[in-house]
Structure 1
Amino acid sequence: MANKEHQDSIMLKVEQGTHGKEPSKAMKDNKPTEKKLFMKVASLVAMTVLNSTVVLLMRYLRMRQGPLFISTTAVVMCEVFKLFISMLCVVVEERNLVRLPYIIYDSFFGSYIDTLKMMVPSFLYTLQNNLFFVAISNLDVATVQVLYQLRIFTTCLFAVIILGKEINRSQGIAIVMLFVGVCVVQLNLDTEQTHEHVEQQTQNNFLGVIAIVVSVFLSGFAGVYFEKVLKSTSKSVWIRNIQLASYGIFLGFIGIVTKDGATIAEKGFFFGYDNLVLLSLFIQAFAGLSIAVVFKYADNVLKSFASSMSIIISCVAAVIFFKTHLTPAFYCGTFFVICSLFLYNR
């Protein structure tokens, strides 16, 4: 009898030990997945909110009285803010300020081939922005905004080719719905901004179409390429942002010299700047950095959905702050975007 009780006691301990270990192991295995899911959602939400804020601030800056800052200097200042924010994030990540110079030196000179990888997206983004300027100078705003949404398709195309991403039928339908919805919303915006136009005699429609088509292909390729670099190497996303911002500053200064050198020499680098301009550029820098985090933990396609939602949020906020009017087309486009979001993640 005593022997039987002893055996039962041993069996009970074994069962308790087994049941005690399994949840612990499961929790340990799920921890990285939960962290990745949190970062994925948080980065998408942050990007959406920051992009909406940037749009509203930039619109206010254009509407208010006073001299407007020189756009090429704003591009450089935004990259400078990105550089310093990324450096701060590296210090927080490493918990060591003294090592920062060594980390930065190693990120640029430790492996030349690895460093040169980041020159590709930086150069492509710069070229894309210049082509967008050519397009906006030769086409009406509505045409440019609609054609620019083709980047949704080019992003998916390069994601399939470069990353081997699989897109099923329902996701394909969702992407088409997203494109249609964003185009309709953008057309609503353009009817509200009819004062922004270019004189017909200065336009070259063929050149404008070529510029915007090349721009959307560069945008899709650069984004997917950057995502591949982030996910295929062990370097921190903040180190990659330091590299990208450094190249961006260099290329930005080339733009300053070639485009606005004479104007800046006459008026100064910080002409038109005040605290609100600096704040808007600082937030824009955060928005740019959030895109890299989205690439790391989510993907380019989800970024397209987040960007579309930020456009809608900006429109709704513009009604409150700028007394703009929304047309039935806006509500129709918003419905398409929201439906596409649910359909893609079904």
Structure 2
Amino acid sequence: MKDWHKLFPNKEAFIVFSLYIILFVFQGVFITASKTENGVYDYNTTLVVFLSELLKLVISATLYTLKRENKPHLFKAIVKDYNLLLLYFIPSLLYCFYNNLAFINLSHYDPTSYYILLQFRVVLTAILFQFLFQKKLAFVQWISLGILTIGCMIKNFDAASVKSKGDTDLWSQIFNMYFLSINFQNFCSCLAGTYNEYLLKTKGSNVDIFLQNVFMYIDSLLCNFFILICKGEVTTMFQDLQSLGDIFVILITVNSAIVGIVTSFFLKNLNSILKTYASALELIITAIVCYILFKIVITGYTIVSICLVVIAVAMYFRNPVNNVNINNSSEKDTRDLKPLLNVVVD
């Protein structure tokens, strides 16, 4: 493809793109598999998010220390760039809401419907992207975003019609509490992702990406700890740890930690617009995997939705947003990740 280099500046960037899709598919499947037969979770989901953020912090701090070279010690670096640490409270709080809402919404939607409905965020992401980076999207790019949104709307009618079964109003099923919940999750996702990209490429462009991750996850731990306090679950944390021994809960925690690290490299080297299309591509894989594992039927609405998403993605790939980093540091950052990617690929 002639514009392939506009999408992926190097091989490592394409690997990051692929890993992002695969890991998020795994996350939806693991969370669905961890539910009981009644569709609820028999473990503390907020504690799982808290432990995931703690694991991300440990990984990021370790990677910063291993590749520190002539850079300051971790604690000195945190003190030096404390302003950036404070700025990361904004995306950290939004990601905190997003991660906790994922469990709630996946308890009421199957993974395919969940990921399709999450695509409502694309237009808002585009608007925020233009505002923060002063880059206008082309007409064709807006058309592809519109097609993507229509695909999501069709799937939402599908999910509502299945639930209503003729005994309740269809519109009340569409615009219910969980529809509002998943759209608040969409808002948190697109604002957090776009603002995180803004920090990575502007305010923190000269700061090591692993150090920026440390800032993010310190703030995330504080935000999730605050939620545990609000829910009155701090005193029972150690008791709740006993319920986290299930294999799927462990996989959720570890996979979430890896997703967090990969997402930071995605936003640093690519952009939040491409991130929404990567999320859209998850739909096809998720639909197939959920049909095989959970016998979740692929309806006609789902097929139409996926087809529209594929068309939108194909249109975007032919007219991508230029993802050149503001300070041209993306090549350096993917080199920082290259040893890790080699381990994953091998």
The two structures have a TM-score, normalised by structure 2, of: 0.73
Once residues 277 and 220 of structure 1 are traced to their aligned partners in structure 2, the CA distance between those partners, rounded to angstroms, is 26
Match of 1:278 among 227, 242, 250: 250
Once residues 117 and 6 of structure 2 are traced to their aligned partners in structure 1, the CA distance between those partners, rounded to angstroms, is 37
Once residues 67 and 141 of structure 1 are traced to their aligned partners in structure 2, the CA distance between those partners, rounded to angstroms, is 14
**What residue is the counterpart of 1:151 in the other structure?**
121
Once residues 298 and 67 of structure 1 are traced to their aligned partners in structure 2, the CA distance between those partners, rounded to angstroms, is 35
Once residues 122 and 256 of structure 1 are traced to their aligned partners in structure 2, the CA distance between those partners, rounded to angstroms, is 15
**More helix as a share of residues:** 1
**What residue is the counterpart of 2:32 in the other structure?**
59
Do the aligned partners of 2:92 and 2:216 also contact (CA within 8 Å) in 1? yes
Pair 1:167-2:141 in alignment = no
1:176-325 counterparts in 2 under 5 A?
Answer: 176-185=146-155, 216-232=186-202, 233-261=205-233, 264=236, 267-325=239-297
In the TM superposition, what is the alpha-carbon distance from 1:194 to its structure 2 partner? 8.4
Question: Comparing 152-161 with 316-325, which one deviates more in the overlay?
Answer: 316-325
In the TM superposition, what is the alpha-carbon distance from 1:144 to its structure 2 partner? 9.0
Distance 1:219-1:265 versus aligned 2 partners, 3 A rule: closer
In the TM superposition, what is the alpha-carbon distance from 1:263 to its structure 2 partner? 7.6
Aligned positions, number: 300
Do the aligned partners of 2:44 and 2:240 also contact (CA within 8 Å) in 1? no
The two structures have a TM-score, normalised by structure 1, of: 0.73
Do the aligned partners of 1:149 and 1:183 also contact (CA within 8 Å) in 2? no
Once residues 303 and 177 of structure 2 are traced to their aligned partners in structure 1, the CA distance between those partners, rounded to angstroms, is 33
Match of 2:63 among 46, 67, 89: 89
In the TM superposition, what is the alpha-carbon distance from 1:273 to its structure 2 partner? 2.7
Once residues 242 and 131 of structure 2 are traced to their aligned partners in structure 1, the CA distance between those partners, rounded to angstroms, is 43
Deviations along 1:128-171, one digit per CA (max 9) or x if unpaired, are 5678899x6xxx86999877543211110010011112210111
Once residues 147 and 275 of structure 1 are traced to their aligned partners in structure 2, the CA distance between those partners, rounded to angstroms, is 28
Letter of the structure 2 residue corresponding to residue 251 of structure 1: C
In the TM superposition, what is the alpha-carbon distance from 1:315 to its structure 2 partner? 1.4
Once residues 209 and 185 of structure 1 are traced to their aligned partners in structure 2, the CA distance between those partners, rounded to angstroms, is 12
Pair 1:118-2:88 in alignment = yes
Question: Comparing 150-159 with 207-216, which one deviates more in the overlay?
Answer: 207-216
Once residues 77 and 130 of structure 1 are traced to their aligned partners in structure 2, the CA distance between those partners, rounded to angstroms, is 12
Query: Any idea what SS the aligned residue of 2:248 has?
Result: helix
**What residue is the counterpart of 2:327 in the other structure?**
none
Once residues 206 and 327 of structure 1 are traced to their aligned partners in structure 2, the CA distance between those partners, rounded to angstroms, is 22
Q: Which structure 1 segments of 5+ residues have no match? A: 1-31, 196-202
Deviations along 1:8-58, one digit per CA (max 9) or x if unpaired, are xxxxxxxxxxxxxxxxxxxxxxxx999843233211111000000111111
**What residue is the counterpart of 1:79 in the other structure?**
53
Once residues 20 and 228 of structure 2 are traced to their aligned partners in structure 1, the CA distance between those partners, rounded to angstroms, is 28
Pair 1:43-2:16 in alignment = yes
RMSD of equivalent CA atoms: 3.7
Query: Any idea what SS the aligned residue of 1:42 has?
Result: helix
Letter of the structure 1 residue corresponding to residue 127 of structure 2: L
Do the aligned partners of 1:57 and 1:280 also contact (CA within 8 Å) in 2? yes
Distance 1:320-1:217 versus aligned 2 partners, 3 A rule: closer
Once residues 240 and 60 of structure 1 are traced to their aligned partners in structure 2, the CA distance between those partners, rounded to angstroms, is 33
Letter of the structure 2 residue corresponding to residue 103 of structure 1: H
Do the aligned partners of 2:197 and 2:271 also contact (CA within 8 Å) in 1? yes
Do the aligned partners of 1:223 and 1:300 also contact (CA within 8 Å) in 2? yes
Q: Which structure 2 segments of 5+ residues have no match? A: 166-172, 319-346
- Whichever of the two has the greater Rg, that structure is 1
In the TM superposition, what is the alpha-carbon distance from 1:260 to its structure 2 partner? 4.1
Once residues 289 and 190 of structure 1 are traced to their aligned partners in structure 2, the CA distance between those partners, rounded to angstroms, is 35
**What residue is the counterpart of 1:103 in the other structure?**
73
Once residues 130 and 112 of structure 1 are traced to their aligned partners in structure 2, the CA distance between those partners, rounded to angstroms, is 27
